[in-house]
Amino acid sequence: MCKFSIFLAFVFCVLLSSCKPDNKNKELSIPEVALDSLIDSSKKDSLTITVELPAESSVILNMVDKYSQHFIIEHINKTDQDSVFETTILNPHKNQLIKHGMRMFGSSKFDRPSTSILISDTTSVLSLVYKDDKLSLTQEDMAPDVTRMVEAYDSLQVAVFKWKGDDSKFMKSLDSIKNLYDFQYSSNTFNVADEFSQIDEERFKAHKALNKYGYYSVLQKLDFQSTTIDSIIKNEFLYMPYSDGSGVVFIYLRNEIENIPFDSLNNPFYTQEYRDNLTHGLVKFLSFSDYKRADKYLDAKEWLRTTDYYKENSKQIERLITPMDKKKFKSLLSKFELQDVDSTTILIKDVIKNHPSKYYMIDLWATWCAPCISNMKMLEKMSLPKSLTIINVSTDKLENWYKWKEMTLDLGHDVTYFAKRKSDVNKEFLDFIEIKSIPRYVLFDKDLKLIDHDFYAPYEPQFKSKIGDLKNHKYW
C-alpha cells in the first residue's frame, strides 16, 4: 500500500504546484525564413504558432492531423541569439492535445515531453516561449497548459504497465485523479481557480472531456474487456487527438474489431456516436501497414467507405488504408521512360546508376504549374538528407518540350527529365499511381522498392519529419 500512497501524494503535489511563465519583453531577432507558412493564416480553421527560442536550441510539437496521423512541427534556432519562429497550420479538430519535446542544437537526443497544451477549434493563435528548459504559454487564456493533469494520468499508465500484480489495486489512484479534476472543473471552483479564470465555456468543456478521456485510457489498460468502456464507446463520442498514443477507440478496435457487425452498423439500433467513434478509429487503425493488408478487415473498410467522413475525404483516406501492389509498382517504374535535355531516352535504372543514392523522390511537375514551382523553391531552402536524390520529372505536353528544357535549366535542376505522357509504359505507370493532379511526390529506394506513392508536399508539416526519418520508413 505504501507504493500507492506515495503515488497519490505525487498526484496532489502535481495538482497544487504552479509555474508561471516569465513574460518580460525583450528585443528579438526575426530570421527572414524561420519556417515556411503552411497555409494562409486568414483562414477560419487555421492555427498560427509562434515560438521564442534561445540560441542554438529547438522545440518539437507533437500533433495529429485531420486523418488521425501523428506529425511533428520542429522549430530550430541555429542562430547565436534569441529568435522568434512562426508557422501556420490547419486546426481541424474540436479539441486536440499538443505535447512538446525538445532537443539541444547539434544533438540527436530527444528529451521526454514536458508540456501539454489543450487547444480547441476556436484557438487561432498559440504563442510560446522556451526558457530555462521549459516551454510555456505567453498567455494562459490562449490555450490552457494541462501538463499536470496529463502527467498524472501518464504516470499512472506507466505504473500499470510495469506492475506485475493485480491491476485492480490502481483503481483507487485512478478514481482519485478523476475526482480531483472533476472538482477542479466543477462550477463551484471554476470562477476562482487562477489557472482557468480566463477560459471560456467551450474550453471548460474541453478540460472536462480531456479528464474523462484520461480516465478511460487508464481504465482500459486496467481492464481491456471492461463493459464500461464498451458502453461508453457505443454511446459517447470519444475522439480526442492525442499525439503520443493510438487512443481508446484504437485499442477497442484492436481487441474487438472481429466482433463488430459492420454489415448492420448503419441500422438505427446503433448510435451515431458509436459510428463516429468507429469512423475516426478505423482511419487510424487501418492506416497501420499490418492491418491495411489483412483480408479479415475488408468488411471494416467497406463500411468505412459508406460514411460521410470518408466520402468527404475519400482520396486522403483511401491512400491511408489501401496497400499498393509493391511488386507491380517496381515492375512499372522500371519501365518508366524519360528524356533528358539532350533528348536522350533513359530508364529509371539508368538514372539510379548515374546518380547513386539510397533513396529517391520523383517530383512530378509541369511548366504551367505554379504550385509545383513554388514547392521546388521551398525544397531548395530545406536541409534534406544526403541519402535522398530528387528526380524532377515534367509531365508537360510534348509541344512544350522546349519550354520545359529552358525552364528546368533556369531553375537549376540537377536531375531533370521529361516524361512523354502518351507513351504506353508511362501512361500505365502514371495511371497505376493514380496521378490526377500535380505536384506529386513518389518515394522509393535504390532497389525501386516503394516507400510512398503519394508523399507529402514540402509545405505540409509531415514532409520534414518523414523525410528526416527515411531510414525508419518501414515503420511509418
Instruction: Give me the pLDDT at residue 20, please.
Output: 32
Q: Could you tell me the pLDDT band of residue 455, with boundaries at 50, 70 and 90?
A: confident
Instruction: Give me the pLDDT at residue 453, please.
Output: 87
pLDDT, tens digit (0-9, with 9 covering 90-100), for 364-391: 999 988 889 989 999 988 889 999 999 9
Tell how far CA 304 is from the center of its chain: 21
Q: Could you tell me the pLDDT band of residue 183, with boundaries at 50, 70 and 90?
A: confident
Interval 127-141 mean pLDDT = 86
Q: Quick one: the chain helix, strand, coil %, rounded to 5?
A: 45, 20, 35
Residue 231: is its pLDDT beyond 80?
yes
State yes or no: cis peptide before 439, omega within 30 of 0.
yes
Gap between the Cα atoms of 278 and 120, Å rounded: 22
Structure-block grid coordinates of residue 345 = 531516352
Q: Give the other-Cβ count within 10 Å of 40's Cβ.
A: 8
Instruction: Give me the pLDDT at residue 286, please.
Output: 93
Residue 192: is its pLDDT beyond 50?
no
91 compared with 27, residue with greater pLDDT: 91
Interval 234-245 mean pLDDT = 78
Instruction: Give me the pLDDT at residue 474, please.
Output: 67
Instruction: Give me the pLDDT at residue 187, please.
Output: 54
445 in the Ramachandran plot: left (φ > 0), alpha (ψ -120 to 50) or beta? beta
pLDDT, tens digit (0-9, with 9 covering 90-100), for 318-338: 988 988 888 999 999 999 999
Instruction: Give me the pLDDT at residue 7, please.
Output: 46
pLDDT, tens digit (0-9, with 9 covering 90-100), for 273-315: 999 999 999 999 998 866 887 889 999 999 999 999 999 999 8
Contact yes or no for 429/421 (Cβ under 8 A): no
Instruction: Give me the pLDDT at residue 103, please.
Output: 39
Q: Side chain identity at 384, as an amino acid letter?
A: L
Q: What percent of the chain has pLDDT over 90?
A: 45
| 361, β-bridge pairs | 390, 443
Interval 457-472 mean pLDDT = 84
Instruction: Give me the pLDDT at residue 276, please.
Output: 96
266 compared with 466, residue with greater pLDDT: 266
313 compared with 242, residue with greater pLDDT: 313
Instruction: Give me the pLDDT at residue 40, please.
Output: 46
339 compared with 26, residue with greater pLDDT: 339
Q: Could you tell me the pLDDT band of residue 32, with boundaries at 50, 70 and 90?
A: very low
Instruction: Give me the pLDDT at residue 224, please.
Output: 61
Identify the three-state secondary structure at position 472: helix
Residue 28: is its pLDDT beyond 60?
no
Interval 407-429 mean pLDDT = 91
- Beta strand 83-90 pairing with 46-53: antiparallel
Q: What is the mean pLDDT of the chain?
A: 82
Residue 340: is its pLDDT beyond 60?
yes
Contact yes or no for 15/63 (Cβ under 8 A): no
Interval 459-471 mean pLDDT = 83
Q: Could you tell me the pLDDT band of residue 252, with boundaries at 50, 70 and 90?
A: very high
Residue 14: is its pLDDT beyond 60?
no
Report all structural domains of the chain as residue ranges with CATH numbers, in order of start: 46-148 (2.60.40.3750), 258-323 (no CATH), 326-475 (3.40.30.10)
Interval 206-214 mean pLDDT = 90
| CB proximity list for 279: less than 8 A, separation 6 or greater | 304, 307, 309, 310
126 compared with 29, residue with greater pLDDT: 126
Interval 140-145 mean pLDDT = 71
Interval 420-443 mean pLDDT = 88
Q: Could you tell me the pLDDT band of residue 39, with boundaries at 50, 70 and 90?
A: very low
CA atoms within 13 A on the CB side of 443: 20
Instruction: Give me the pLDDT at residue 166, please.
Output: 85
Contact yes or no for 156/170 (Cβ under 8 A): yes
Q: What pTM was estimated for this model as a whole? A: 0.64
Instruction: Give me the pLDDT at residue 323, please.
Output: 83
Gap between the Cα atoms of 16 and 10, Å rounded: 10
Contact yes or no for 433/364 (Cβ under 8 A): no
Q: What percent of the chain has pLDDT over 70?
A: 82
Residue 16: is its pLDDT beyond 70?
no
Least confident range from 103-117, 142-156, 269-283: namely: 103-117
